[in-house]
Amino acid sequence: MFIIVVIALSLSLAVARWAQGRHESTMLKGFRATAPTAHTGGEIALMFLKSEGVGDVEIVEHNAVVTDYFDPTRRRLFLRRDVAQGTTLSAWAIALHEAAHALQTGETLGELKWRQSCIRMSRYIPTAAVFVIVALMIARILVPRIAILIVAAVFTLLLLLNLGSVPLEFNANKRLRRFLDEHLKNHPQASGRLDELLFGMAIREVGDLLRSPRYFFLSALPGTGKLRPQ
């Protein structure tokens, strides 16, 4: 039984590491590639939204630990400055993918909010859980074997919740297809590379289990930077 739990924990960490590595390596390459037209990430996102008849989304430049996301409640798209003003393929992929979430309304809006809840749990619960478990071990309330079982259960559950809501990210990419086919019809090579970058965006948060300490210490504790501007 204990071996099965250890294997489950190892698999969870391996999947998170794969997603993290795939996203980071893909984005790094994309930041070195110039977009096929002179539009910035913010401009191409607005062009896409306009083509879909969406005119109520505001783009806000926001450099913080938590950024590059769409807020469905306030209808705001938060982007880092290098994304909003960048003319690289990665800037386009980030801005377009997050802008596509603005089209997820109606019944899909509930799924989007659940997806965002899963992301927040993946970012903050792992580190908080480890602190609690270590404290209980120091107080001799938990033995190491049980502590490992609890950590494995928490990490595995969070990963499954995260993976279960990932299809919503691919749905966002799908909503970009018509716009990209039209806008990049004369740039097939850029279109193919952008598809790869959008895949990286779809799995980006699967690696948040491993980024949890960064999010926890830099955005969750009192006195740390705000998650988003008021």
Q: For residue 76, what is the enclosing H or E element?
A: strand 76-79
pLDDT of residue 6: 81
Of 165, 170, 160, whose CA–CA distance to 16 is shortest?
Answer: 160
pLDDT of residue 130: 95
pLDDT of residue 226: 54
pLDDT of residue 220: 74
- Residue 106: DSSP 8-state: T
Of 122, 124, 144, 149, whose CA–CA distance to 134 is shortest?
Answer: 144
pLDDT of residue 223: 57
pLDDT of residue 8: 86
Q: φ, ψ for residue 206 (rounded to 5)?
A: -65, -30
CA 193 – CA 199 distance, rounded (Å): 10
Identify whether the C-beta of residue 102 lies closer than 8 Å to the C-beta of residue 57.
yes
Taking 70 as the pLDDT cut, the residues of the chain under it are 221-230
Identify whether the C-beta of residue 193 lies closer than 8 Å to the C-beta of residue 118.
no
Of 54, 67, 74, 120, whose CA–CA distance to 98 is shortest?
Answer: 67
pLDDT of residue 38: 94
